[in-house]
Amino acid sequence: MERAIDILNVLSQRRRRLGMSLDELARRCGVPVSTLKRVLGGEVAASFSTVSAVAEALGVSFAQAHAEDISAMRDRQARLKARALVALVQGTSALEGQGVDPADIELMEQRTAAQLLSGPARRLWAR
């Protein structure tokens, strides 16, 4: 049982280091927030499928006994979110007949990702 609690502590610490809220983690892994609180707090025994879903949402693979680097995972999330945000701007500009140059789009994505990484961590994960 000690080993299971160690794994849950690692996952809980990883969530905090990523700056991911419990709400966002719950959404990503399909586990209710109330269950996550109890499981990550070691209050209840969790099924392997629950722990596996939480781990996957946090970038940890049990199959390879490997966790994606925190910085790499945050960078990947920033790029994905920046791309989505810039696509919204690009779509609006296209509707107004003001197409955006692909090089400018790339620059906007880079700047947006940098802003996301330099701001509050929760903003990086929020929808």
Q: Contact at 8 Å (CB) between 112 and 77?
A: no
**Each residue's pLDDT expressed in tens, for the chain with a length of 127 residues:** 456 668 888 899 999 999 999 999 999 999 999 999 998 888 878 888 899 999 999 998 776 666 778 899 899 999 999 999 988 877 766 655 666 778 888 899 999 999 999 988 888 888 8
Q: Could you give the domains of the chain?
A: 2-68 (1.10.260.40), 71-125 (no CATH)
